[in-house]
Amino acid sequence: MAADLPGSPQEPSRHPQPPQGPGPSEAAPPLSQKQKKDLLKDNFEKMKRDADELADLAKSLQEDLNKSNQNVFSLGVVDKADKIEKLAKRIKGTARGY
């Protein structure tokens, strides 16, 4: 009957522990200069592509708003605004190195 009690040793924990990250001795080795340069170049290219997409979405959003009026509002406008926000945050995070 002790196995039926909550908190008994046979019952798995109700509060799972978060996975443990690598310890100080398991840290990734530092990047070489070439790896850093390649990473920065890749991030820059990614930001340029994201910025182009952001500009296209903003232009499309503006066109959709120009077609709308105060009584008719497309849900596509909200979707595009969400995409714009996500892209802007991604560009910002990439620029900060996240």
What is the number of structural domains in the chain? Answer: 1
Per the structure, the complete domain to which residue 98 belongs is given by 51-98
Q: How far apart are CA 9 and CA 75, in angstroms?
A: 52
Q: Half-sphere exposure (CA, 13 Å, Cβ side) for 24?
A: 0
Beta-carbon count within 10 A of 54 CB? 19
pLDDT of the chain, 98 residues: tens digit per residue: 555 555 545 555 565 555 555 555 567 788 898 988 998 899 999 999 999 999 999 999 999 888 888 787 778 888 999 999 999 999 999 988 86
pLDDT at 79: 92
pTM of the predicted protein model: 0.62
pLDDT at 86: 96
Residue 33 falls within a domain, yes or no? no
**Residue in 47, 23, 64, 24 with CA at minimum distance from that of residue 98:** 47
With contact defined as beta carbons under 8 Å apart, do 87 and 50 qualify? Answer: yes
Residue 2 falls within a domain, yes or no? no
pLDDT at 87: 95
